Amino acid sequence: MPIAAKGVLERVRIVLQDEESVRWTLPELRLWFNDALREIVALKPTAFSTSIVLALAVGTRQAIPATYPHFLKITRNLKTTGESPRLGAQAVRTVDMEMLDASNIYWHDTSLTQAAKIVRNAAFDAKEKNIFWVYPPNDGTGIVEVVVSQVPSGIPIPASNEDDINSYDVNISGSDIYTNAIVDYVAYRAFSKDAEYAGSGQKAAAYFQQFAGSIGVMLTNDGMKNPNVKPSTEQENAA
């Protein structure tokens, strides 16, 4: 289910014991809600992933559009640029860049390595979040399907009456499993605003720890539940 923005803000107001938004206004909470979405993506890039159709540039180095903060995976070649239906072609195998370097040190050089439309292998360097590399070098006509991270658009500025909770009755794309984390993050930002008052700084720190902890647990669980990860011998024996 999508994230119900109004429901999240109502929970935040209960946590803050400010159910009429006297101390912390709804426009403020809206900003912090949207900040929470960006923070979640920064910590867990797969949180709001999507697949896009990407036309490739000439050569081995490829970049995703700047609107997407992280490249996650390349899945397959496509026959056309059309979004619906997407006509698939050959699968793309993800490999380590060092393996490509070892097999052919000239794989980046189009004067020595034949360029092609179809991508066989792809590599990714974690230091460059929006860049990936393809082999063989592309001739500039290739089309692929790529999985990328995205930040949801967030709660828009209300068209009218920004102090009415009903003005925030919108659904945010993504899974509502992040509802609690967003509540914790907004509470952290709210109490940080009052850090000079006794106890507020400690509350802010506690809510941030809850936020970071919940995202950390999700990351761990994602790794354990990844169907592409083979179980260890001990896990197989236990089963």
In the chain, how many domains are there?
2
200 and 130 in a common domain: no
Evaluate whether 32 touches 190 at the Cβ level (below 8 Å): yes
Residue 182: name the closest of 147, 223, 218, 158 by CA.
Answer: 218
Look at residue 99 and give its three-state secondary structure.
Answer: helix
Tokens of 174: 């993504």
Give residue for tokens 């659904």.
Answer: 171
Residue 155 lies in a domain: no
130 and 181 in a common domain: no
80 and 142 in a common domain: yes
Instruction: Show pLDDT as tens, one digit a residue, over the chain (239 residues).
Output: 899 999 999 999 999 999 999 999 999 999 999 999 999 999 999 999 999 999 999 999 999 999 999 999 999 999 988 887 888 899 999 999 999 999 999 999 999 999 999 999 999 998 899 999 999 999 999 999 999 999 999 999 999 999 999 999 999 999 999 999 999 999 999 999 887 777 889 999 999 999 999 999 998 887 655 545 555 555 445 44
Residue 183 lies in a domain: yes
